[in-house]
Amino acid sequence: MAFLSEILGRTITDLDGNYVGKLEDLIARERPEFPHPVVDAVVIDRRGEKQIIPYSIVMSLFAPAIPLKCHIEDIPTYTLNDDDVYLSRDVLDKQIIDTDGARVVRVNDLQLVRINGTLYVSNVDVGMMGILRRVGLERMTNAIASGLRIPLTDNFISWDNVELLHHDQFMRLRVPAESLADLHPADLAEILSDLNKMESGQFLESMNVEQVADALEQVETDFQASLLSEMDDERAADVLEKMDPDEAADLLAEIPEARSRLLVSLMEKEEADDVRHLLTFPEDSAGGIMTTDYAIVPPDITAEQAIKLLRETASDIDTLLYVYVTDPEEHLLGVFSLTDLIFAEPASLVRDFMDDRVKTVHTLDEQVEVAQIITKYDLLAVPVVNQENIIQGIVTADDALDKIIPTAWKKRLPRFYR
């Protein structure tokens, strides 16, 4: 175990102990199967001339004078890969920002660890000891601290909690409080809006389609559109599929028509049809703000069967608040909440515990009317039906009010009121 700052500048000698140069930098690469980058090469400063050699010919990096395994005249040269990272040039001293996009600390040092002949970057040193080591005061501080019996603590962040966003000099690291995949979509969205365009594009690439879709749903439509414009068509279509159909439709309405058509045609048929259907409604009508993610059950099954059916058909619905009861032609007959379902006798029929006085809105009703109905009857969502009372979608309270209370204002409300 050693630190990058300790070995930089050390003398490198060949097999016979002849002077070769000074250690200037290490080159490492992240590999998909392992979260810590592996050191592949060493940059040597040969009296002003830089030479990059493979790590495999270095006998031991942690010796006071680093010996190579070959003679000075047959030192091989390492060919750089695109995703190679210079540890000193590109990582040391770089800014680390937390999940809120706030600057927290800089990389003070890097800890290296050797396992079975392979050298890994294990930790990022972000503590005071890292700074002291860099200025050569570590030993003195240790001596003083042990003399005064003050315990010194290192402050490390494991490399797998850090993400490289960028490979040139402007690269930054990221330390999420939790690991990145566990982040709440709203937090991801906040990071996205803090990063500049180029960085956010790379950040989006590092996430899976599901995460991107969730994060996109949390940001404003025009920002969604600019992020979408950075993605290639295939990926954009995949992301749109994973988004709520109403969000996807809003977003598609925002981008140039030609690309919008192209993206819809690349989407899976089922999702594409939903989105196409939604796009036919005016933006500020019930049809325009509704989502087609809702659960329906027939009236003549038991509560027990209904739960089983919902498990099979409604598992991918994000906000399952109400279950709607329809006939085979999807004419709306009634509604019940999940609470009703849980407290119903397992053997009782759906038609017996459902509420048949369903409040509905029409596809072309204005958003304000929808919001009024939702607030008046204190609903969490209201179904949208067409002329024949066939269910088309639902508008959630959140979406209905969203259109009336400006988003910025809503964000300022205490969480309780949201």
Partner 1 sequence: MNNELFINNNRRFFSTIWRKVLLFMSVFGPATITAMADNDAGGVATYSIAGAKLGYPILFLLPIITLLLAITQEMGMRLTVITRRGLADLIREKYGVRAAIFMFAALLIANIGTLVTELSAVKTTSEIFGISPVPAVIAIVLISFVVITRGNYKLTQNIMLLACLFFLAYIFSAFKAKPDWGAATSNLIFPNGVNFTSSYMRDYLIIGMGVLGTTITPWGQFFISSFASDKKIEKGKVGLSQLETYLGAFLTDFFSFFMIVATAATLYVNQITLTSGEQAAMAIQPFAGELAGKLFALGILNAGFMGLVVVSLSTAYAFAEFFGVSGSLDDSFKKSKTFYILYGVQLLVALLIAIFSNVSLFQIAVLTQTINAVALPLVFYFLIKLTSDRSLMGDYVNNPFQRWFSIICSVLIVIASIFTVASIFF
| Interface contacts to partner 1, rule CB under 8 A | 92-96, 100, 102-106, 108, 131, 134-135, 168-170, 196
Nearest distance, CB of residue 107 and partner 1, angstroms: 8
Separation between Cα atoms, residue 364 and residue 350, nearest integer Å: 30
CA distances to 28, 267, 376 from 63, rounded to whole Å, are: 20, 58, 77
Select 138 or 271, whichever has its Cβ closest to partner 1: 138
Residue reference for tokens 């993605």: 231
What's the closest the beta carbon of residue 134 comes to partner 1, in angstroms?
A: 4
Min separation Cβ 92 and partner 1, Å: 7
Least distance (Å) between residue 22 CB and partner 1: 16
Q: Do 142 and 129 contact (CB within 8 A), yes or no? A: no
DSSP strand pairing (173-174 vs 95-97): parallel
Alpha-carbon distance of 152 to 135, in angstroms, equals 17
Per-residue tokens: 25: 């930098």
* Beta carbon of residue 155, minimum distance to partner 1 (angstroms, whole number): 13
* Phi (first) and psi of residue 234, to 5 degrees: -55, -50
Q: Which is nearer to partner 1, 194 or 402 (CB)?
A: 194
Q: With respect to partner 1, which residue has the nearer C-beta, 196 or 315?
A: 196
Question: What is the number of other CB atoms lying within 10 angstroms of the CB of residue 18?
Answer: 11
Residue that is written with structure tokens 């000698």 in the block = 13
Output the smallest distance, CB 322 to partner 1, in A: 40
DSSP, collapsed to helix, strand or coil, labels residue 157 as: strand
Phi, psi at 365, each rounded to 5° = -60, 150
Between residues 134 and 403, which has the closer beta carbon with respect to partner 1?
134
